[in-house]
Each structure stands twice: as structure tokens, then as C-alpha cells.
């Protein structure tokens, strides 16, 4: 039912997947030892994936220092949210910073400036 998850968690998961993908790709390169060019390409792609995930981790660190810390009304744990609407990190309870959106149907599009109401 709830497919929406906390944005910080989502990006963190993506970075983690990217690290594993990078390792798998580099490992895959070992099967092409007979062909140094293919192996180098595999190693390079894997290396770039790991570098990219490091950058994402760094970016997440900056984002989470700027994120608003709130206490979730559902599980009363502290959570961090990005944008006007986000989900709780622990229970995925939809949260909003905008009182005008309180009690509204949860919609990720509220984060876009274009759709927001005055
Ligand atoms: Zn919660």
C-alpha cells in the first residue's frame, strides 16, 4: 500500500546498491582475463560506480545536515525529512511541514513548486 519511503533512506539504499554493483562488475571483469581490454573496461566501470556511490554518500551527508529533524507522531522517533512532504524513516508515516497540506491525500507531487498552492 505504502510505496513511499523516506528520501534520505531511499538515496542511501541506492548508494549501497551502487557499491555492490561496482564490486560485482569489477569481479565480473576477472572472467575476461584473456582479454585485457574487456577486463580493463569492466574494472573501470566498477570503479566509477564505487566512486559515484562515494559521492552520493557525501551528498547525503550534506543533505541530512540540512534536513529538518522532526519527531514522528506515529512512532515518536526522531526522523529527518527533505522537502515539504516526506515519510518517516522508521515507520514510513507520511509527514508534512506545510500545515495547509495536513490531512491531505499523500502525494509526492506536493514537493514540486509548480503544483504547490499559495
Ligand atoms: Zn515514524
Taking only the tens place, the pLDDT of each residue in 53-71 is: 999 999 999 999 889 999 9
| 8 A C-beta contact, residue 14 and residue 56 | yes
pTM of the model: 0.76
Distance 35 CA to ligand 1 centre (A): 52
The full set of domain ranges for the chain reads 7-66, 68-111
| 8 A C-beta contact, residue 23 and residue 50 | yes
Q: Band the pLDDT of 97: cuts 50, 70, 90.
A: confident
Q: List, in order, residues 6 or more apart from 41 with CB less than 8 Å away.
A: 29
Q: Which three cell numbers, joined as nine digits, stand for 34?
A: 584473456
Distance 85 CA to ligand 1 centre (A): 14
Distance 44 CA to ligand 1 centre (A): 41
Distance 72 CA to ligand 1 centre (A): 5
The DSSP symbol for 33 reads T
pLDDT of residue 4: 74
Distance 19 CA to ligand 1 centre (A): 28
Q: Compute the distance between CA of residue 118 and CA of residue 115 in angstroms, rounded to an integer.
A: 10
How large is the average pLDDT for residues 85-89? 91
Amino acid at each position: 500500500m505504502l510505496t513511499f519511503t523516506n528520501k534520505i533512506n531511499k538515496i542511501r539504499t541506492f548508494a549501497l546498491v551502487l557499491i555492490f554493483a561496482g564490486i560485482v562488475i569489477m569481479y565480473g571483469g576477472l572472467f575476461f582475463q584473456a582479454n585485457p581490454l574487456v577486463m580493463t573496461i569492466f574494472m573501470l566501470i566498477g570503479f566509477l560506480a564505487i566512486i559515484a556511490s562515494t559521492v552520493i554518500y557525501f551528498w547525503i551527508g550534506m543533505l541530512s545536515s540540512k534536513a529538518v529533524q522532526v519527531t514522528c507522531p506515529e512512532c515518536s522517533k526522531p526522523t529527518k525529512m527533505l522537502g515539504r512532504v516526506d515519510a518517516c524513516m522508521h515507520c514510513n508515516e507520511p509527514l508534512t511541514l506545510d500545515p495547509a497540506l495536513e490531512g491531505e491525500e499523500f502525494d509526492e507531487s506536493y514537493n514540486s513548486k509548480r503544483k504547490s498552492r499559495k
